[in-house]
Amino acid sequence: MILAEDEASLYLQATTQQVWAPRGLTPVVRADPSRRKTNFFGTLNLHTGDVITTCEPVMDAEASARHLQAVLDAFPDRRILLLWDRAPWHRGPALRELLAANPRLEFMLFPVAAPDLNPQEHVWKAVRRTVSHNHTFSRLDTLAERFATQLTSSTFESSFLHRYGYNSLYSMFN
């Protein structure tokens, strides 16, 4: 099983994008001055386009370990190659313990400063376009629930495996 993982923060402050509107009726996007946020961990199944997601108040090694446990639980009998970046919360005692207890989980790191290579980044972009751009939610929990629902009820196609030689990667695990 080849998966790509990444994290995203969701703020109540709406991000904007272009939108059609009748002339003279400029849409109003509400501004929220707070910096309250929620964090999403997302793992894209590069075979099916499904996403496993968890929501955490902070991004740290313990939160990363909880998310990876959810990924392991989703594929209890499969070997997993997880592609992810070099974020500081991807290191620490909690992750070392998880890895030691789960040898079927292996990692491959993306190059430094190369977010465009990570297919999960494209998932965040698609969900933000659908849910959080130009939104009118007044509560962060409501926005986060809608964001999570969009992640888990959609599939996100990725050409990553084809583009980077899936057969070569596959042969390493068989």
Minimal CA–CA distance to 47: which of 173, 156, 165?
A: 156
Residue range 95-116: mean pLDDT, rounded: 94
Residue range 149-156: mean pLDDT, rounded: 96
* Count of structural domains, the chain: 1
Instruction: Examine residue 30 and state whether it is found in any structural domain, yes or no.
Output: no
CATH number at residue 117: 3.30.420.10
Q: Which amino acid is at 70?
A: A
DSSP 3-state percent helix, strand, coil across the chain (nearest 5): 40, 20, 40
Instruction: Examine residue 167 and state whether it is found in any structural domain, yes or no.
Output: yes
Residue range 69-79: mean pLDDT, rounded: 97
When comparing pLDDT for 134 and 132, which is higher?
132
What residues contact residue 104 under an 8 Å CB cut-off, 6+ apart?
Answer: 72, 78, 79, 80
Instruction: Examine residue 20 and state whether it is found in any structural domain, yes or no.
Output: no
List the single range of 17-26, 27-36, 45-54, 65-74 with lowest mean pLDDT.
Answer: 27-36
Q: Give the domain extent around 117.
A: 2-8+37-172
Instruction: Examine residue 163 and state whether it is found in any structural domain, yes or no.
Output: yes
Instruction: Examine residue 21 and state whether it is found in any structural domain, yes or no.
Output: no
How far, in Å, CA of 78 to CA of 125, rounded?
Answer: 29
Instruction: Examine residue 17 and state whether it is found in any structural domain, yes or no.
Output: no
When comparing pLDDT for 135 and 150, which is higher?
150
Residue range 119-145: mean pLDDT, rounded: 89
Instruction: Examine residue 98 and state whether it is found in any structural domain, yes or no.
Output: yes
Contact 1, 75 (CB under 8 A): yes
Instruction: Examine residue 88 and state whether it is found in any structural domain, yes or no.
Output: yes
Percent of the chain predicted with pLDDT > 70: 92
Under the banding of pLDDT at 50, 70 and 90, the label for residue 21 is: confident
What residues contact residue 56 under an 8 Å CB cut-off, 6+ apart?
Answer: 38, 39, 40, 41, 63, 66, 67
